[in-house]
Amino acid sequence: MKGLIALGVVVIAAAIVLAQSLFVVDITEQVVILRFGEVVNQSANPGLFVKAPFVDTVVRYDKRVLRIDAPPVAMPDVEKENLVIDSYARYRITDPVQFRKTLQTEGTARSRLGDIVTSTLRSEVARRDRIEIIGAKPLIDPETQQQVVETGIPQFEGTEARTEILQKVLTEVKRSIAEEDEPFGIEMIDVRIKRADFPDEVTPSIYTRMRAERNRIAAGFRADGDEKELIIRADADRRATVIRAEAQRDSNRIRGEGEAQAISILADALEQDPEFFAFRRSLEAYKKFLTQQTTVILPADAPLFQYIPGPDANGVSDGRAP
């Protein structure tokens, strides 16, 4: 019985020693082996490894890309207007021994690197206006040096200004880390802005300013339209006056030519048969005064009556005036 107990104790002790001697490294991990606080080994390869039991300690670090979420911070732009910038950065631990020496833990790394990223981003934002920070450069007309506006909408260049800003921030963050007394054992991969917005307390004034700007643009378009309308109307009125004058001129010319032709034809007819012309004119005179209730006293031998026959003694007209 005692032998079985002793055997059981030995097995348990062996299991404990074996458990303390073996450790597993996952494919997503890299480890540092500490012995009394000093680094004795490290490994970034996955698998099963052996360490000295009870005296060696395994410190694990993530081998994947890690993320730093910086808290939203109000940052003034070049126009001294605050923007709430919500950013994040990504990094990878490349030297776990140096990382443990300078930053110790991932929590410390998030705090330290977050401060560096925020400080660098603040300096870069202070040199830019809000349009660039939001993400685009305004399109400037090279002749007028004014921003191009089409149908009331400001135009922007295709190149994202925010990408340029973040690239400079990343370069400055890397430079700041390199200038530290000791390297951090990390590689900065990226810096990104999740959101750039105005503080809540200034939102109403921003909307008021946007409405005023849109009203100014709309008023400008209306003024341009009114000016073009006046120009078009004035040109149409001028052309209508010219057309009417030309039509009146042509009608007067045609009427004059017609009257001249009528007079010429009448003169030719008169020359061909003056007697017939005199007869026709007498008939027209008869038509004028014989149809009216008017008494006309003329001598019987008046030329006007030469074509009106008069009655003879028998009451028969002899073709002469009475």
End-of-domain residue from the set 62, 83, 99: 62
Residue 304 domain-assigned (yes or no): yes
Residues 57 and 172 grouped into a single domain: no
The DSSP line for 127-167 is TS-HHHHHT-PBPB-TTT-SB-EETTEE-B-SS-HHHHHHH
Residues 123 and 18 grouped into a single domain: no
Residue-range definition of the domain harbouring residue 121: 66-198
Residue 118 domain-assigned (yes or no): yes
Residues 106 and 185 grouped into a single domain: yes
Residues 186 and 282 grouped into a single domain: no
Residue 184 domain-assigned (yes or no): yes
Residues 181 and 147 grouped into a single domain: yes
Residue 179 domain-assigned (yes or no): yes
Residues 157 and 70 grouped into a single domain: yes
What crossing angle do the helices spanning 161-178 and 106-125 adopt, rounded to 10°? 130
End-of-domain residue from the set 198, 216, 237: 198
Residue 228 domain-assigned (yes or no): no
- Name residues whose C-beta falls within 8 Å of residue 309's C-beta, 6 or more positions apart in sequence: 317, 318, 319, 320, 321
What is the predicted pLDDT for the residue at 317?
43
What is the predicted pLDDT for the residue at 135?
62
End-of-domain residue from the set 145, 166, 198: 198
5-16 exposure pattern, b = at least 16 Cβ within 10 A, e = fewer: eeeeeeeeeeee
* Blockwise average pLDDT, block size 10, the chain, 322 residues: 71 73 85 85 84 83 89 84 86 89 88 90 84 68 69 56 83 88 88 80 74 88 92 94 93 92 81 75 74 68 67 45 41
Please report, for residues 43, 86, 176, 302, the alpha-carbon distance to residue 316 in angstroms, rounded to integers and kept in the order given: 158, 130, 144, 21
Q: Is the distance from CB of 91 to CB of 68 less than 8 angstroms? A: yes
Cα 76 from Cα 128, distance rounded (Å): 9
Residues 100 and 166 grouped into a single domain: yes
Nearest to 43 by CA among 28, 56, 25, 65: 25
Q: How many CB atoms lie within 10 A of CB 173?
A: 20
Residues 53 and 174 grouped into a single domain: no
Residues 31 and 82 grouped into a single domain: no
Residues 123 and 166 grouped into a single domain: yes
Cα 54 from Cα 17, distance rounded (Å): 8
What is the predicted pLDDT for the residue at 47?
84
Output Rg (C-alpha) for the chain, integer angstroms: 56
Phi, psi of 295 (to 5 degrees): -100, 125
Residue 111 domain-assigned (yes or no): yes
Q: Dmax of the chain from CA atoms?
A: 196
Residues 28 and 129 grouped into a single domain: no
Residue 216 domain-assigned (yes or no): no
Q: Which two tokens stand for residue 42?
A: 């490290």
| Tally of domains within the chain | 3
Return the CATH number at 94.
3.30.479.30
Residue 51 domain-assigned (yes or no): yes
Residues 80 and 136 grouped into a single domain: yes
